Structure formats: structure tokens, C-alpha cells
Amino acid sequence: MKAKQLSKDPFNIIITGVGGQGNVMASRILSNMLVNKGYFVTIGETFGASQRGGSVISHIRVSSRSAWGPLVPKGRGDVVVTLEPIEAIRVLAHYGNPAVEVLANTRAVYPASVTAGESTYPTFEEIKEMLKKLAARVWLIDATDEAVKLGNSILSNIIMMGALSAVGHLPIDQDDFTAVISRTLPLDKIADNLQAFALGVGMMKEKRRQER
């Protein structure tokens, strides 16, 4: 299958969050959706120590022409999807540029040093401010809140994937998602995940409609 041309090639997506939030699963699912559409995809990740409360980053390189390395070069992030708000700020320090777009889950996970009173966590307003100054477009998504309503907070990563698909840079949709998870997830988990993805798509479509 010949892959559709991308607005930028390679197109660089960075998915970030805190260990244990489902970063790895999200990047796998997204990547498989893109592979099915004929793209060369490379994912760069680390496992192990990051599970223990540290920041995690998945670099996803998408290209219709060839496979690229597992690390996004400095300043070349195209879309940053974050499961935890300040991780986006951390990522943009190295991979951001004026054209980058950010999808941020709004639920904070406090670093140990903040809980211990050794450093401060920025206010929500401050986070919004900083992201808007560093990115061309910022979408704030209450993914965790919605995931909890669906019955499991870990579904927040799927909601974010749905939202990403509705931004429009990548030619992927709910059907592509369904195709991937029916192969990889156990039957009893599929319904919840489909619902979460659709929810994310809906939330993003609503936000984009409001922008116009």
C-alpha cells in the first residue's frame, strides 16, 4: 500500500507522561495504526527504571519514504501528546519549535519532590501560559477525568490517541484503531477502549469546531 504523503516527512510525534500511565501501549497502538496505512514507523523508548515514577518519552518517527532513527532531533517535534501536563514543558525544552502542536491531558501527577515540599508545581494557569508561548496550537483535554467516568483511569491514554487522530495531521481514524486492537487486546477490554477512543475523537472535534 502506498502511504499518503505527510505534511512533513518524517513526521515526529512525541508521546510523554509519567511511568505507568500507558505511554508504551499508546505508542504501540498508534504506530501499528500507521504501519497498517503503509508508513515506515520507528519508535524510540526506554523501559525499566522509568516505570518507577520517572518521566517517560516515546519518540515516534513516521515517514512515507524510509525508516528513520529512534530519536527525534532537537527542535523537530511536530506534535507532542502528553499524559501529564508538565512533561510537555519538559519535552518542549528540547524538541519544541514555534510550529509544534501540543495535546495535553490536564491531570497532574506530582513529582515526589513537590509532595515533599522541595519544589513547586506550576499552577494550571501557568502551565497553559507556558505551553501557549512555546507551541503554535495547544489543546487541553480532561482525559483522566473522562477515563475515570468510563471506569478506569488508564484509558486516558486511549482518549488522547483518539484526540490525536482527530487533529488531522495523520490519516488515521476509529476504524484503524479498531483493526489494531482487535488483534492485540483481549476481547473483554475492546469495548471500553473503543469507547475511549471515540470519546477522544469527539472531544477534539468539538474543540476544533469551537476554534473556528
**Least CB distance from residue 60 to other proteins, whole Å?**
9
Q: Is the dihedral of CA 30, 35, 39, 40 positive or negative?
A: positive
| Cα 30 to Cα 41: distance, rounded to the nearest angstrom | 10
**Least CB distance from residue 49 to other proteins, whole Å?**
5
Closer CB to other proteins, 144 or 204, in the complex: 144
**Least CB distance from residue 27 to other proteins, whole Å?**
8
Closer CB to other proteins, 40 or 198, in the complex: 40
Positions that interact with other proteins (CB under 8 A): 18, 28, 31-32, 35, 40-49, 51-55, 67-71, 73-76, 86-87, 89-90, 92-94, 96-98, 110-117, 119-122, 126-127, 130, 133-134, 153
Smallest CA-to-CA distance from 143 within 132, 122, 127, 158 is with 158
**Least CB distance from residue 25 to other proteins, whole Å?**
13
Please answer whether residues 135 and 92 qualify as being in contact, where contact means their C-beta atoms are separated by less than 8 angstroms.
yes
Closer CB to other proteins, 104 or 204, in the complex: 104
Smallest CA-to-CA distance from 201 within 157, 164, 171 is with 164
Residue where the block lists cell 499524559 = 83
Closer CB to other proteins, 77 or 200, in the complex: 77
H or E, element range at 112: helix 112-115
